[in-house]
Amino acid sequence: MILRGIPASPGVAMGRAFLFDTRRFIVTPRKIRDDAIPKEIARFEEALIKTRSEIIGIQKKITKEMGSHHAEIFNAHLLVLEDRMLIEEVIEKLKKEHKCVEHVFAKVLDKYINVFSRMNDEYLKERISDIDDVGKRILKNLMGQEEKSLSGLKQKVIVVAYDLSPSDTATMHKKNVIGFITDIGGRTSHTAIMAKSLEIPAVVGLQKATAKIRVGDFLIVDGNEGIVIQNPDNKTLKKYQIKQKQFVKFEKALVNLKNEPAQTLDGKRVEISANIELPEEVYSVISHGAEGIGLYRTEFLYMNRRGLPSEEEQFDAYKSVASRLSGCPVIIRTLDLGGDKFLSQLEVPHEMNPFLGWRAIRFCLAQPEIFKVQLRAILRASKFGNVKVMFPMISGVEELRQAKDVLNEARKELRRRNIKFDENIEVGAMIEIPSAALTCDILAKEADFFSIGTNDLIQYSLAIDRVNEKIAYLYKPTHPAVLRLIKSIIDAGHREKIWVGMCGEMAGEPGIILILLGLGLDEFSMSPAAVPEMKYIIRNVNFKDAKEVADKALNLPTSEEVEDFANKRLLELIPNLEKIRRQ
């Protein structure tokens, strides 16, 4: 049986299923007498104290192994533990109902989760998993149960769960958890982000994995394709054993390109950079041989927390990334909230069309005080490396000017505080809205560089909601309309002598690289793991051949024809690519 989900972390894993049931405890109500009430309250308080020290322990472990940002998620858990309303409600009910505290607590917990799940606020909805996670810990401590943790596994397994909380994921040990799959979750959930950091193959959003898979079933997890195969036949098993070996060998074979430049055989030099969401990912950027960071999605610093990050906190994060990249470019994109990324503390109202709504630069220009905090932090970090700043969702030159005005105010404020920064910091515009793409000639006169955000550019130019799986088949990076837009953006940038990069997912697709290279794209930014193969391709083709591929592709009528043609030419130009992939 094949289950399809969302690829969360690349690689192939094969092994026995371990069902990790993270759902409710069964709590049988037990009557208690009046004089036993103080003892029940004391038990409750002890459970809260024990839970607190467990969470602090996990926080320390994560800070050590994965960095402090991941550990911050648990601040929300600690706040749940201190919630007076919840605690008092349990005590009151206990006195009224004369039932054991675990039963009363489980009922109050259910009530909270129900109330939160009915709310329209995405941020509050996300808090359900915090309440649930802490609640289960408290219940476990009240009921004196052994901790069910993924760290104590004795053999290699594939974890199958409805959902995995950050604390579950953090206790996983790469040695025994060789892969994991979940019923719910998206590509940018904390669980998915952590899986990538731990380099454990994972598929999320499978919907019915826990209902269909039994303990001990043999599973294949293909984290590249987002596929899970349950009890495969011998032929499939062999196919994936080969695929798994190829994945490992392929990565190893290309790793020696780490320090080589991304230059074609006939001398055309481009830049291969990586996209990151968190400062901790810098390690992966460097180890995969990226030549810089082409997109630092800073909004993740603002998510899963109470309150906004201060200038100091942001400065520390940006400075640490900039200095670890030792002089290589780091493009920091300003806050891109809205669309599918929300924070309750910023009170973004619920909208009918969030992707067309109060998003990214629109939000920042309406909240200049919030915006300036970030801009000051970025400017300050520019003293510690090769930092560039980039604005998302620019729709035309007015918005670029307004954003630059706020940047100038931030500059003035720093000068008043006698703080030094790079006075010549490059300021770029993301080109991800068709109106910006069509007015690139105007924008290019006022920007230092462009970075094409194809994830959004495709959704806006083809009218395809990028998060709707029902129309995903229409989301075509090689659609002639998309290719024409990309060409005109690159040409307009070059006419004004500015460089043009791309940081949408399309930049890391081997089947498309020849076209982008041939169109003259200067910088390709992608997930760190995609870097080695793209470098290999660039180093093994001639720019003149890529130009021919691009010219021909632009004249083909359908995306399928473009894809077939580009893939065919890639294998003709680098015949051993297939061999390296399959060695």
* Residues shown for the chain: 583
Site string for ligand PEP, 318-337 (x = CB under 6 A): ------------------x-
Site track for ligand PEP across 415-434, x = CB under 6 A: -----------------x--
333 - beta bridge partners? Answer: 297, 390
Identify any residues that bridge with 428 across adjacent strands, giving them in sequence order.
390, 449
Integer Cα distance of 455 and 446 in angstroms:
24
409 vs 415: CA distance, rounded Å: 10
Alpha carbons 255 and 33: distance in angstroms, whole number? 68
Which residue lies nearer to ligand PEP by CB, 52 or 362? 362
Q: How far is the CB of 224 from ligand PEP (least distance, A)?
A: 19
Known catalytic residue: 503? yes
Find the part of the chain contacting ligand PEP (CB under 6 A) among 106-114, 189-197, 206-214, 454-462.
454-462
Q: Is residue 477 a contact point for Mg ion (CB under 5 A)? A: no
Q: How far is CA 117 from the centre of its chain?
A: 23
Residue 213's SS3 state is coil
Q: How far is 217 from 17, CA to CA, in rounded Å?
A: 5
Q: Which is nearer to Mg ion, 456 or 522 (CB)?
A: 456
b/e map 305-340, b = 16+ CB within 10 Å: eeebbebeebbbbbbbbbebbeebbbbbbbbbbbbe
- List, in order, residues 6 or more apart from 42 with CB less than 8 Å away: none
Catalytic residue among 103, 190, 288, 479: 190
Q: How far is the CB of 431 from ligand PEP (least distance, A)?
A: 10
Compute the least distance from the CB of residue 428 to ligand PEP, in Å.
12
Question: Where in 292-311 is the site for ligand PEP (CB under 6 A)?
Answer: 295, 297
Which of ligand PEP, Mg ion, none does residue 176 bind to, with CB < 5 to 8 Å depending on kind?
A: none
- Of 295 and 514, the one with the shorter C-beta distance to ligand PEP is 295
# residues near Mg ion by CB under 5 A: 3
Of the candidates 15, 453, 477, 508, which one interacts with Mg ion according to CB under 5 A?
A: 453
Task: State in angstroms the smallest separation of the CB of 475 from ligand PEP.
Answer: 12
Q: Are 318 and 335 in contact (CB under 8 A)?
A: no
Select from ligand PEP, Mg ion, none the partner in contact with residue 533, using the beta carbon and a kind-dependent cut-off of 5 to 8 Å.
Answer: none
The residue range among 45-53, 253-261, 452-460, 469-477 that interacts with ligand PEP, by the rule CB under 6 A, is 452-460
Contact 246, 20 (CB under 8 A): no
Are the C-beta atoms of 330 and 321 separated by less than 8 Å? yes
* Stretch binding ligand PEP (CB under 6 A), from 34-42, 162-170, 447-455, 511-519: 447-455
Categorise residue 166: left if φ over 0, alpha if ψ from -120 to 50, beta otherwise. Answer: alpha
* Residue 454 binds: one of ligand PEP, Mg ion, none (C-beta under 5 to 8 A by kind): ligand PEP
Name residues contacting Mg ion, limited to 81-140 (CB under 5 A): none
Q: Which of 63, 75, 367, 455 touches ligand PEP by CB under 6 A? A: 455
SS3 of residue 188 by DSSP: coil
Tell me the C-alpha distance between 504 and 450, whole Å.
Answer: 12
Whether residue 364 lies in the annotated active site: no
How many residues sit in the footprint of ligand PEP (CB under 6 A)?
10
> Strand 177-182 relative to strand 329-333: parallel, antiparallel, unpaired?
unpaired
456 sits near Mg ion (criterion: CB under 5 A):
yes
The contact pattern for ligand PEP, residues 488-507, with x = CB under 6 A and - = no contact, is ---------------xx---
Phi-psi group of 297: left, alpha or beta (phi > 0 → left; psi -120 to 50 → alpha; rest → beta): beta
* Among 165, 454, 461, 559, contact with ligand PEP (rule: CB under 6 A): 454
Which tokens in the block code for residue 525?
């930014």
The answer to the question of residue 127 lying near ligand PEP (CB under 6 A) is no
**Binding-site partner at residue 485 among ligand PEP, Mg ion, none, CB < 5 to 8 Å by type:** none
Of 376, 454, 360, nearest to 417 by C-alpha is 376
Q: How far is the CB of 345 from ligand PEP (least distance, A)?
A: 20
Interaction between residue 277 and ligand PEP (CB under 6 A): no
CA nearest neighbour of 135 among 19, 23, 238: 23
Token output for 144: 């004196």
**Helical segments of 256-381, H only:** 282-287, 311-324, 360-366, 368-381
| Packing angle, helices 480-495 and 543-554, rounded to 10 | 130
Under rule CB under 6 A, residue 188 binds ligand PEP: no
Nearest distance, CB of residue 320 and Mg ion, angstroms: 24
Report the residue from 399, 456, 509, 533 that binds ligand PEP according to the rule CB under 6 A. Answer: 456
Residue with smaller CB distance to ligand PEP, 105 or 302: 302
Query: What are the strands, taking DSSP E only, across 328-425?
Result: 329-333, 386-391
Instruction: Name the site residues for ligand PEP (rule: CB under 6 A).
Output: 295, 297, 336, 432, 453-456, 503-504
Site residues for Mg ion per CB under 5 A: 432, 453, 456
What residues are labeled active site? 190, 503
